Structures are given as C-alpha cells and as structure tokens.
Amino acid sequence: ITTIYEWNMDVDPGWTMTGEWEYGQPQGLGGDIFGDPDPVSGATGTNVIGMNHAGDCSIEVGGPFDLITTPFDCSTLSGTSLRFQRWLNIDWPPWVYTSIEVSSDGTYWTAVWTNEVEITSTQWDVYTYDISAVADGQPTVYVKWSYTIDENSWAYSGWNIDDVEIIGVEGY
C-alpha cells in the first residue's frame, strides 16, 4: 500500500466548502463550555481545513454543511483507503450529525463513518477508512466531510483536518 494522493494543507487544496468550513491556521480557541479548544496549528505545518478557526462553531440549525474534495482518479487502484489527521470536538446525535462519505460521481454518496457519541479531542490522531467498495477502479472519486446542526445543540470547536491521503495498491 502506497500513498497515491496527498494534501498536507500547506497550500489550500481548493475544495468546496459550505457552512463554517475554512482553510487556514486554527487559533486554539473554542471549547469554552463544551469539548476542548481547537489546535493552534496543523498536525504538520501551520494550516488545516476546519470549522470556524476563531472559536466554537455556530449552533444555528442547518446543514448538512460539506467539505468536498476535488475529484481524484482511482481507476488503477485497489484496496483504496482514506487516511488523515483529525482533531474533532462535536456534540452527539440527535443534536449534531457528522459523517465522512465517498462518491464515484459526486451525486450518490456512501457513508464510511458517522458519529454516534460526543467526540472531544485534545490532540491530532490519524484515522484510516476503507473506501475501496466505492473508489476501486473508478476514474472519478470524491470524499466529503459533513456536519448538520439540529435544535438544542451545544457549541463545540468542531472539525480540524490535516494531512489527507488516499492510499492503495496500484494495478486494479
């Protein structure tokens, strides 16, 4: 298994963002009442993609709010996985829903992870998700991180994502 694509967030990857997703340096803020604060930099380097780098995320009802990669080619890959660094502080369902999904057309999405509990991070951790069922052999693949805010949620510092990689085996 090798790294096929990587985005270390030293440069803005130009991904589609809605809601409070943004590129830049987190400021170590938020977590005043619930969860913990954002980091003060990326897992490596300065910048990340996260939710509201200047504090807790909004609790205004809405979403889903998405971070969607530009398409990448997995037509020659097998055993494809998504690997990235995560620092996440988020309320739990039914108040906040978060997910990671993958698509081979940008229209139909398959969930590879959803939160089921409150998540509070105080450090960067590496997460790997198998996306092979959707991505292997496909010429156009997208990954989407999402969050939805429902009524009565509490403000947490939200998502921070760094060092995103697509890993797999060449030779589908």
Amino acid 50: pLDDT: 97
Do residues 31 and 156 lie in contact, with contact meaning Cβ atoms separated by under 8 Å? yes
Segment 59-76, tens digit of pLDDT: 999 999 999 999 999 999
Mean pLDDT across 107-117: 97
CB neighbours of 102 closer than 8 A, spacing ≥ 6? 82, 109, 110, 112, 131, 134, 135, 141, 142, 143, 144
Amino acid 70: pLDDT: 98
Amino acid 1: pLDDT: 85
Higher pLDDT, 171 or 16: 16
CA proximity to 5, closest of 69, 72, 70: 72
- Note the pTM of the prediction, 2 decimals: 0.95
What percentage of the chain reaches a pLDDT higher than 70? 100
Amino acid 171: pLDDT: 85
